A and B are shown apart, each in its own frame.
Chain A
C-alpha cells in the first residue's frame, strides 16, 4: 500500500464517520458491544462450517446500507488486508485431504471447506470492524471505551494519537516525497537514509509535543482530558443491542440456511 493511498483511506473512513444516519446516531457503546458480540459469535463456529455463517452477512450489509457507507469501498479494504488469513488458510486443502460430500455426487476435500470457512469468517469480522469505525467517529469510540471502563490514561492516549495522526502523516509524507524525488533507482532508498529520516521525524515530534504541552498547560491541563458531553443510553440503543444479540443467537444455534433449504425442497415437491 502506498503512503498516499493509506493516508486517503484513513481520511475517507474518518469523513464517513461524521455522517448523520440512523446507524451513526446510535450510541458508540451500543455499536462497540454489538460488533464485539458479532465477532465472537462468528468466530465460535466450528472449522468446517460455511453455510451457517451466511445469515450473519445481514449485519454488515444492514450497517452499510442504513449507514449509507459505500459497499465497494469496504469490500476493497477487506481484500487489501486478507493476505495473512489466506496465507495460513491455503494450507488447509494440502494438509486435510479427506473428502466430504457437499451435494449429491459432488465431493471436495475437507481442507477446501475449512479454507472457505476461514475466508467467510474473515470477510465477516473485518467488514464489521471497518463498519464500526465508518459509522462511529473515533472520539465517539474513545468516549464509549472510557464509559465501558478502560483506563482514562489509555483513552486519552488514543485521543492524542488520533488528533496528531493526520499532522504527522502529512509531515512524513512530505519527507518521503522529498526523498523519492531525490533518489533515482535504488539510491537513497536504503537503511542509512531511512534512519536519518526517522530520527529527524522523531526529534520534530518531541519538539512538537513540548509545544503542545506548553499550550495545554496554558489552558489549564491537569493530566486528564475531560468531556463535556453527558450522554445516557436511549431506548433505541438498548433495542439495537438486544435485537442484534437475539439475531446472532438465533443464527448461532438454529441452522437457518438448512431449514430454508429443506422448506424450499418440500414446497418444490
Chain B
C-alpha cells in the first residue's frame, strides 16, 4: 500500500514531507537525550533485518495469497517508539531509492503512513496498555492483534485521504475506502499474529532484550504525539496556503470544497500571462466534472463558457498531439544519439 508520486499533488506531498521531516528531527532529538551508544548499531542492523525479513514470504492458511512482515509494530515493541520510527523511516527511504516503492515525493506520505501510526499511535495508546508488563502470552497476542489492525487501518485510511486530497483520481471516496480498508483488515490480523509470534519467540529465548527496551521507553509518548500533531496542523496550514497556487489548476473533491469555503478560486486569473494555448487546455479541463457530486454553484460559469471551448480545442489538440509526439521522439533520440556516439568511442 505504498503511496505513489503519480497520484499526489505537490501541496499534499510537501505537507506530509514537512510533517515527516519534523517528526524525524523530533525523534532524533528525543533519542539523543537519553542515548545509549549501543542502540545506534542495533537500530541500523535491525533496519537491515526488517528489510531482509520483509522479503521472506509465508502462505496464509485458507487463502492462496502470501504475506510478509510490516515491521513498524515489532520495532516499536523491541526498540521503543522513537528509535522504531527512525528505523522505519530509514527502511522506507532505502526502499524508495532501491525498489522505487512509491517515489521520492510520496516517501514523506509513506513514512507518515507506515511509521507514525504504528510507532506513535498504535504502540503507546493500544499495545502498551493492553500488553501490560509483557509477561502474559495472551495479553501480548491481544495487544499485537489490536495494535496491528488499528495501525494498518489508519495507514490505509491515510492513503485514501492523501489520494483524494490530491485530486488525480476520479474514484469516489466511499468506493476507494471500501476497497482499501477490508484488505488491510486482513493484513492487519496476519501482521498481529506474526508480531505476537516473534515477540513470544524472542521472550522465550532472550527475555532481557524485551525488558531493556521496555525500561528505556518512557510513557511520554502521549504528550509527544500531541506536540507532533499540533506542529503538523500548523505546517499544513502554512504550506497549504503557500502552495495552493502551485497545486492542481482544477481543485476538486475535498480540495474543491475547501477552496469553496475559503473562496479561493482565482487560479485561472492568476495564470493570465501564459499563452492562450495553455489557457484553453486549462479551461477545457476545468469544466470536466471531477466528481458526480459537484455543487451547482459552479454550473452557471460552466454553461456560459462551455460552447466556446470545443471550437478552440480541436485545433489546439491536434497541434498538441503533433508536438507531443515530436518532443518525445527528440527526447529519446538525444539519448539514443549519446549512446551511439559513446559506443563508437569506446569500441
A contacts, CB < 8 Å to B: 3, 6-7, 9-10, 13-14, 35-36, 39-40, 42-44, 46-52, 54-55, 57-58, 61-62, 64-66, 68, 71, 77-78, 81, 84-85, 88-89, 91-92, 94-96, 98, 100-104, 110-111, 114, 117-119, 121-122, 125-126, 128-130, 132-133, 138, 141, 150-154, 156-165, 167-169, 171-172, 175-176, 186, 189-203, 205-206, 208-210, 212-213, 216-217, 221-223, 253-262, 264-265
Contacts and interface: CB of A to CB of B under 8 A. Distances in A.
Contact of B45 (A125, A150, A199, A209): A209
A84 B4 contact: yes
B322 interface: yes
A47 B167 contact: yes
Size bracket of the B interface: 35 or more
Given A43-B105, A122-B4, A262-B323, 12 more contacts: A43-B13, A48-B281, A101-B314, A132-B104, A151-B25, A153-B32, A156-B40, A160-B43, A196-B201, A199-B202, A255-B281, A261-B326
B128 interface: no
B327 interface: yes
Contact of B5 (A121, A206, A256): A121
Contacts of B89: 154
A130 B100 contact: yes
Given A81-B99, A103-B318, A35 B56 contact: no
Interface stretch (B145-153, B215-223, B231-239, B245-253): B245-253
B171 A125 contact: no
B249 to A, nearest CB: 5
Interface stretch (B90-98, B118-126, B130-138, B256-264): B90-98
B323 A257 contact: yes
13 contacts: A61-B332, A85-B4, A103-B314, A126-B5, A129-B104, A132-B97, A172-B56, A191-B61, A202-B49, A206-B46, A209-B42, A253-B274, A258-B319
A172 B104 CA distance: 27
Contact of A261 (B13, B247, B319): B319
B129 interface: no
Contacts of B197: 191-192, 195, 199
Contact of A264 (B43, B292, B322): B322
Contact of A54 (B38, B96, B172, B324): B324
3 closest Cβ contacts across the A-B interface? A160-B44, A261-B323, A199-B201
A74 to B, nearest CB: 9
Contact of B277 (A104, A154, A259): A259
A190 B323 contact: no
B59 interface: yes
B132 to A, nearest CB: 22
A91 B331 contact: no
A176 B209 CA distance: 25
A39 B104 contact: yes
Interface in B300-320: 310, 313-320
Contacts of A6: 55, 99
Interface of B: 1-10, 13-14, 21, 24-25, 28-29, 31-32, 35, 37-38, 40-49, 51-53, 55-61, 69, 78, 86-87, 89-91, 93-94, 96-105, 163, 167-172, 175-176, 190, 193-194, 197-198, 201-202, 205-206, 209, 246-250, 274-275, 277-278, 281-282, 284-285, 288-290, 292, 310, 313-324, 326-328, 330-332, 334-336, 338-339, 342
B41 A212 contact: yes
B342 A96 contact: no
B56 A3 contact: yes
A213 B38 contact: yes
B5 A223 contact: no
B13 A40 contact: yes
A156 B21 CA distance: 16
Contacts of A118: 6-7, 168-169
A125 B55 contact: no
Contacts of B98: 9-10, 13-14, 133
Nearest to B49: A205
A151 B24 contact: yes
